[in-house]
Amino acid sequence: MLEKPDRTPDECERMISLAHASLAHWRERTDCTTRNLSIGYWQLSRVYAVLNQPAPARHYGELCLAVSAEEAPFFLGYAHEALARASRLAGEWAITQEHLTEARRCAASVSDPEERAALEADLAYLAV
């Protein structure tokens, strides 16, 4: 649904509900890791950004960054991508650039070519 251009209000609410449910699922598991939380927070940030809601997008981006500090560069890079996206929505260009710079630095350290390409593609979209 993230890529769907014209969502109904019900589909928008469904996206939010599903993203929260996914994170809630991981939080209840005894084997939940910071990586699982990073992905869940990033997903929520992206959903809110797609729905043009910068405040919750930033909130979940900040949570993503907090749990991603010790994760691989791919996950840390996406935490900065989430915050760049939220800041861009809020019209905070200087903060957007700071997070884009950090995300690009992380992307340069991603060893898996497919992961690096995915992160770089999302960053290129934000740089427009």
Domain ranges (residues) in the chain: 9-127
pLDDT of residue 4: 75
Say whether pTM exceeds 0.85: yes
Quick one: average pLDDT of 107-117? 97
Residue 28 identity (one-letter amino acid): E
Confidence bin at 128 (pLDDT 50/70/90): low
The C-alpha R_g of the chain, in whole angstroms, comes to 14
Total residues found in the chain within this entry: 128
Q: Evaluate whether the domain defined by 9-127 bears CATH number 1.10.10.
A: no
Q: Is 59 exposed, middle or buried (0-12, 13-18, 19+ CB in 10 A)?
A: middle
